[in-house]
Structure 1
Amino acid sequence: MRGMDKYSSDYYRMTGKKYKPGLKSFIQRHLSHNLQFAYYYRKYKERSNIFYRLMLYRLSRKYGLEISPEAQIGEGMYLGHPYNITVGEGVIIGSNVNLHKGCTIGRTNRGNMGSPVIGNCVFIGINATVVGNIRIGNDVLIAPNSFVNIDVPDHSVVIGNPAVVHSKENATGNYVCYLV
């Protein structure tokens, strides 16, 4: 799937189908709010146009998708059950990352001050929180309702509050699909 633009890779990750511009994909994009948000997010990042910024604002208020345009998100973003997802400015997210309902990724202004850097092939479960100047490795599964404010090595599963890290090869095996 190399050589596609970021929205096409997001589309592929969320639908499992190759993006083909046309009426069918236009209708699907506007009926599915996760695809619609991804489209306007990528267009704004590409062109920094006021129209795309206003559309992002409208969709953010409507669905609670507060993903900062100042965040850096790699190709293949997957928004699963996309309501109330928060990604703050300064956050860096790699490719093939799944963000699920209620997850929060952001900076802290005390203690471990700064924003997270998240690797490739990461699954962030429902209501999980990832905060602080931390690094999340590649192939990491963050379980639902986990609170992560520590560094997490590659090939790990993170569970609980406080976070407990378990080493596991192919941690995101059946969770992160349709890789780009």
Structure 2
Amino acid sequence: MGIIMRRSMDKYYLDYYRMTGEQYKPGIKSLLQRCLFHNLQFAYYFRKYKERPGLLSRLMLYRLSRKYGLEISPNAQIGEGIYLGHPYNITVNEGSVLGKNVNLHKGYTIGRTNRGNMGSPVIGSCVFIGVNATVVGNIHIGNDVLIAPNSYVNIDVPDHSVVIGNPAVVHPKENATESYVCFLV
């Protein structure tokens, strides 16, 4: 995957690889997977809307958002290779920036704060965010970071770290996301 992908649909092919572990090949299998699995459906219409905003892709995003509780703003900057594991009740604020190879799981919130550390988070590459974790504020999450389930993060997190608890406690660890973030793009 050494080719630089610029178009949004090229990013969808990378999302497809992250979620299935297979190269995208146009055909009946990939079409059925996109139609049957809502994480692939959402990624497809999200990337399609980013490439060329249209009524159909916007309506499909709205429908999938309402059906599965996915509040992922089309204005959020999401890098290639997003992985939506058990995608229900995920919230991503419109000012948020996510890097490459980010795993999001059920109940996750990336939010903006309007007091104190005002703003939205910037999340690096190769980040695993566990179930029901919350990341808020004008903070920076480094690369190769694992945020444990049910953690509340409102502080900067350096590269190669594991974040646990509420309030967040940062533990340095090399290869923090090894075996958690797979099929890198």
Query: In the alignment, what sits opposite 1:2?
Result: 2
- Answering whether residue 110 of structure 2 is matched by residue 105 of structure 1, we say yes
In 2, Cα distance between equivalents of 1:90 and 1:123: 20
35-44 or 18-27: bigger deviation:
18-27
In 2, Cα distance between equivalents of 1:119 and 1:50: 31
- Unaligned runs of at least 5 residues, structure 2: none
- Answering whether residue 96 of structure 2 is matched by residue 96 of structure 1, we say no
Q: How does 1:39-58 map to 2 (within 5 A)?
A: 39-58=44-63
Q: Secondary structure at the match of 1:150?
A: coil
- Unaligned runs of at least 5 residues, structure 1: none
Q: Secondary structure at the match of 1:9?
A: helix
In 2, Cα distance between equivalents of 1:69 and 1:149: 23
Residue by residue over 1:71-116, the C-alpha shift from the partner in whole angstroms, topping out at 9 and shown as x without a partner, is 0000000000110011010100000000000000011111110000
Q: What residue identity is the alignment partner of 2:24?
A: Y
Q: Secondary structure at the match of 2:62?
A: helix
Q: Which of 27, 30, 40 is equivalent to 2:32?
A: 27
Query: In the alignment, what sits opposite 2:137?
Result: 132
Query: In the alignment, what sits opposite 1:60?
Result: 65
- Answering whether residue 64 of structure 2 is matched by residue 86 of structure 1, we say no
Q: What residue identity is the alignment partner of 2:173?
A: K
The two structures have a TM-score, normalised by structure 1, of 0.98
> Aligned pair count?
180
Residue by residue over 1:37-96, the C-alpha shift from the partner in whole angstroms, topping out at 9 and shown as x without a partner, is 000000000101121111000000000111000100000000001100110101000000
TM superposition shift of 1:2: 3.5
Q: Secondary structure at the match of 1:127?
A: coil
Q: Sequence identity of aligned pairs in percent?
A: 82
CA RMSD of aligned residues (A): 0.7
TM superposition shift of 1:160: 0.2
Q: What residue identity is the alignment partner of 1:2?
A: G
In 2, Cα distance between equivalents of 1:126 and 1:101: 5
Q: What residue identity is the alignment partner of 1:151?
A: D
In 2, Cα distance between equivalents of 1:53 and 1:28: 20
Q: Secondary structure at the match of 2:58?
A: helix
